[in-house]
Structure 1
Amino acid sequence: MAGEIGFIHTTHAAAPGGHYAQALSYQGVLYVSGQLPVRADGSHSVDQPFEVQAAIALENLLAILDAAGRGPRDLVKVTVYVAGIEHWPAFDRIYARYLGEHRPARAVVPVPALHHGYLIEVQALARDASHS
């Protein structure tokens, strides 16, 4: 039997720039769309260093988790796209700072380019917090 899809939206993260939801919940799993480092107010950070862009993308992710009643410890899978593998060490340090001891499954995928010239995009899956 199909369950209801719950759409998640918060003004504390960048609004979708296309025909998609910030996140949706289905059968206890939260699916977070790819988060570029666009600030919650819609301003772009494409001219900022990688470290700043990574922090903004992760802050968007955490704001969406919060809006869905979840937190970083509910993350089960994170996929990160970086424009250039040279950014991997910096991302790993920043990611560890945001997630602390929690270590969800993760993939860091180097890509030749991202939309608008950004250097990072983060998407994730999270569990239902009530099952923690």
Structure 2
Amino acid sequence: MEKRAINPWQWQDQRSYVQAVEVKQTEGILYCSGQAAVHADGRSSTDDMKTQLLLAIRNLEQVIHEAGYECQNIVRLNVFTTSSAELFTCFDVFQDWVAKHSIQQATTLLEVKSLFETLKIELEATVVK
């Protein structure tokens, strides 16, 4: 598989994403449903944004690994949140996770009116190998 990031500018680097990702010669593509702060027993988290973000990341990692893929090969990551302002208070958690896995992904961040039950954050990924 070949991946190439396309960045006509440099300002997105500080925001931990790329403008586009070209992928050639893939072996497989994994489309992940939105992963949120849902515990293994199916109970939605009532915790703060940072705690929910950490659990959503762990859940996304688990789905990716169980499918036989790697986080570093996330090429698209949509972020849905009920509060962009609250997310930005802990955005370093997201940025550290992206850096830890050397992820170069196209990202769209959307603030939505609500998510399921008490959820504040949801991560939807496309992964290649």
- TM-score calculated relative to the size of structure 2: 0.71
C-alpha distance in structure 2 between counterparts of 1:28 and 1:90, whole Å: 35
Q: Which amino acid letter does the alignment assign opposite residue 113 of structure 1?
A: S
What's the secondary structure of 1:117's corresponding residue? coil
In structure 2, the partner of 1:117 is 118
Q: Which runs of 4+ in 1 moved over 6 A?
A: none
Unaligned runs of 5+ in 1: 1-26
Q: CA deviation at 1:42?
A: 2.5
What's the secondary structure of 1:114's corresponding residue? coil
C-alpha distance in structure 1 between counterparts of 2:37 and 2:76, whole Å: 19
- After TM superposition, the structure 1 = structure 2 runs for residues 86-105 of structure 1, keeping only pairs within 5 Å, are 86-100=85-99, 101-105=102-106
C-alpha distance in structure 1 between counterparts of 2:125 and 2:108, whole Å: 10
Q: CA deviation at 1:28?
A: 1.4
- TM-score calculated relative to the size of structure 1: 0.70
Percent identity reads: 25
Greater shift, 50-59 or 83-92, is seen at 83-92
C-alpha distance in structure 2 between counterparts of 1:85 and 1:29, whole Å: 29
C-alpha distance in structure 2 between counterparts of 1:91 and 1:110, whole Å: 15
- After TM superposition, the structure 1 = structure 2 runs for residues 1-132 of structure 1, keeping only pairs within 5 Å, are 28-45=28-45, 47-100=46-99, 101-128=102-129
Q: CA deviation at 1:87?
A: 2.4
What's the secondary structure of 2:89's corresponding residue? helix
Work out whether residues 88 and 108 of structure 1, in 8 Å CA contact, stay in contact via their aligned partners in 2.
Answer: no
- Which structure exhibits the higher relative contact order, with contacts defined as CA atoms closer than 8 Å and separated by 6 or more residues? 2
Q: CA deviation at 1:66?
A: 0.4
Unaligned runs of 5+ in 2: 1-26
What's the secondary structure of 1:109's corresponding residue? strand
C-alpha distance in structure 2 between counterparts of 1:115 and 1:42, whole Å: 12
